Amino acid sequence: MGNIEIIGLHGLPEFDISHDLPKLIYESSLSSTGGIKSGDVIVVTQKIVSKVEGMVRDLLDVIPTSEASELADKLGKDPRLVQMILEQSSEIVRTDFDRGVLITESIHGFICANAGIDSSNIEGDTKIALLPRDSNASAKKILKDLKNLSGIDSIGVIISDTFGRPWRDGHVNFAIGCAGMSPYIDYKDTIDAVGKVLKVTTIAVADELAAASELVTGKSLNIPVVLIRGCEFKPEGLVEESLLRPKENDLFR
Amino acid sequence: MGNIEIIGLHGLPEFDISHDLPKLIYESSLSSTGGIKSGDVIVVTQKIVSKVEGMVRDLLDVIPTSEASELADKLGKDPRLVQMILEQSSEIVRTDFDRGVLITESIHGFICANAGIDSSNIEGDTKIALLPRDSNASAKKILKDLKNLSGIDSIGVIISDTFGRPWRDGHVNFAIGCAGMSPYIDYKDTIDAVGKVLKVTTIAVADELAAASELVTGKSLNIPVVLIRGCEFKPEGLVEESLLRPKENDLFR
């Protein structure tokens, strides 16, 4: 009663641009857990979305500018990688030359290391994956196809990626895209256990679901998608909601 | 296979200093899910730990200093609350007078709003709960008793609290204390799906478990503890590991 299950979807391939991701997710949901039920949330790791959307690049094709080369030299990074990071960034937020850390605001608005570019789980020593161009749109497309395939209307889809955080060591998964559900649950104006009206608390439920999904996707290299059953979410509103805090409300830029 | 369950523990009381928290958790685990199994993680919300440890204070007993009163006036907050926040803080990190936001480093090392003090779910309009004095020690005490009661050796215990984050709107649960398990899982030097050695990634698994737990504790006001079954964790090492990033390695202070 009220419990939640995080179910790994099995049998998915090494993805590339030739694959129909929603169809494969749907088929795997059938064999892994009897299909998608109303209220399920599907969390998809960013890397396979990037692969299917053709966001893999080869550093052999990249010619770094002198700006990228100078910065790469200070950071101890590959100049071609730094070139790609700069192309995927709107602003450099912090650098730490001693530790080779480059934190930028990505063109998508995420403040993270290396504009979200990484090279794990990609064939080829010089291959890298960029973030999807628009992860909310990616989630919407997956949602649309999953609804059609399953005939279920109430499904949430989240694209997750791994982030570092200020002040706290270690990485966690957060949501970079979301569809079919609001990324928030709002406890405002609900009554707490002792009858007081709760004043805070807007919970970033999409981030909590992404974090929860990593507990399963991180355990196996072959499970890039999970189905979460039993959680509550609000349907998405008419206005697109973003988990990104507006710059003018941020005290740590 | 490889799935994870987040199981709410039912029938727990409104806690106060008279309650034996580990015993009540153990008894609830029996009725909620047949008891604790090897490898289970128990996530306890901070509020009930604070209550059981006598960390509830009454603002009627607080006399604010002139420093607290001046700051409270600028923030539009109760001067007695600001007094308590300052007493629970080692440093003011950011203030936003327009929005009444006070971010400090708490005496425990957490950078968060109001030094983690809040007043929801506490009887009495002037009552507030401080964070536990040492949440790792709180987790250790709960772990010791749960091991004795259950006869199970491999248990993780996490104390969770709700945090805002820079750059991202909404709150999520993170771990403020941890025992019986390392707060991290390290993917360094493991081989990814295409045979490359993963260079990053230290996952703050305790934070992901805390975030996952909120999906159940947030749904009901009467479920302050969850049991998470099926996750992987490393036993804690001899050295106490903290999720707090050392100040000298932090780019956002």
pLDDT attached to residue B222: 84
For the entire predicted model, the pTM comes to 0.94
E strands along chain A, which residues?
A: 4-8, 41-45, 56-58, 89-96, 101-106, 111-113, 127-129, 156-164, 171-179, 185-186, 202-203, 225-229
Q: Select from B94, B168, B249 the residue whose CB has the most chain A CBs within 10 Å, as the one to mutate to test that interface.
A: B168
Name the 3-class secondary structure at B57. strand
pLDDT, average across residues A103-111: 95
CA distance linking residue B148 with residue A156, whole number of Å: 41
Give the angle B142-B144-B149 at the CA atoms, nearest 5°.
90
Q: Is the pLDDT of residue A200 over 80?
A: no
Chain B positions in Cβ-Cβ contact with residue A96 (cut-off 8 Å): 251
CB atoms within 10 A of CB B160: 31
Rg over CA atoms, chain A: 19
The domains of chain A, with CATH numbers, are: 5-55+132-236 (3.30.1330.100), 57-128 (3.90.1660.10)
Residue B242 — pLDDT band, cuts 50, 70, 90? confident
Confidence of residue B188 (pLDDT cuts 50, 70, 90): low
What tens digit of pLDDT does each residue of A24-62 get?
A: 999 999 999 999 999 999 999 999 999 999 999 999 999
CA distance A184 to chain B (A): 7
Which tokens sit at A229?
């059953």
Residue B208's closest chain A neighbor by CA? A211
A94 to B252: CB separation less than 8 angstroms, yes or no: yes
Distance between CA A201 and CA B247 in Å, rounded?
28
Nearest-angstrom CA–CA distance, B225 and B25: 8
Report d(CA A79, CA A76) in Å as an integer: 9
Q: Which of B119, B172, B202 sits opposite A171 (nearest CB)?
A: B202
Distance (Å) from the alpha carbon of B175 to chain A's nearest alpha carbon? 10
DSSP B105: E
Q: Which residues of A touch B108 (CB under 8 A)?
A: none
What is the edge-to-edge ordering of all strands in the sheet holding B89-96? B89-96, B101-106, B111-113
- Look at residue B224 in the predicted model and tell me its pLDDT: 96
Q: To the nearest whole angstrom, how far is the Cα of A116 from the nearest Cα of chain B? A: 13
Question: A199, B118 in Cβ contact below 8 A?
Answer: no
pLDDT in tens, A59-68: 999 999 999 9
Mutate to test the interface with A, among B81, B95, B165 (most CBs of A within 10 A): B165
Nearest to A207 among B168, B222, B243 (CB): B168
Q: Tokens for B237?
A: 């090492």
State the smallest CA–CA distance between residue A58 and chain B in angstroms. 16
Q: Select the residue from B208, B225, B248 to test the A interface by mutation, using most A Cβ atoms within 10 A.
A: B208
Percent of chain A with pLDDT strictly greater than 70: 92
Q: Residue B51: is its pLDDT beyond 60?
A: yes
- Put simply, the answer to whether B249 touches A168 (Cβ < 8 Å) is no
Return the pLDDT at A4: 97
Band (B186; pLDDT cuts 50, 70, 90): confident
Rounded mean pLDDT of B176-199? 77
Q: Quick check: A162 and B6 CB within 8 A? A: no
Nearest-by-Cβ selection for A245 from B162, B169, B253: B169
Contacts of A118 in chain B (CB under 8 A): 200
Q: Cβ A170–B193 below 8 Å, yes or no? A: no
At A252, the pLDDT band (50, 70, 90 cuts) reads confident
Predicted local confidence at residue B198, as pLDDT: 55
- The beta-carbon neighbor of B120 closest among A173, A196, A207 is A196
Kindly report the length of chain A: 253
Q: Which of A78, A165, A190, A216 best probes binding to B when mutated, by most B CB atoms within 10 angstroms?
A: A165
Question: Mean pLDDT over residues A233-243, rounded?
Answer: 78
Q: How confident is the model at residue B238 (pLDDT cuts 50, 70, 90)?
A: low
Q: What percent of chain B has pLDDT over 90?
A: 79
A148: how many CB neighbours lie within 10 A of its CB? 12
**Angstrom distances, CA of residue B210 to CA of A140, A150, B45, B144, B231:** 28, 32, 9, 20, 12
Cβ separation of B216 and A2 shorter than 8 Å? yes
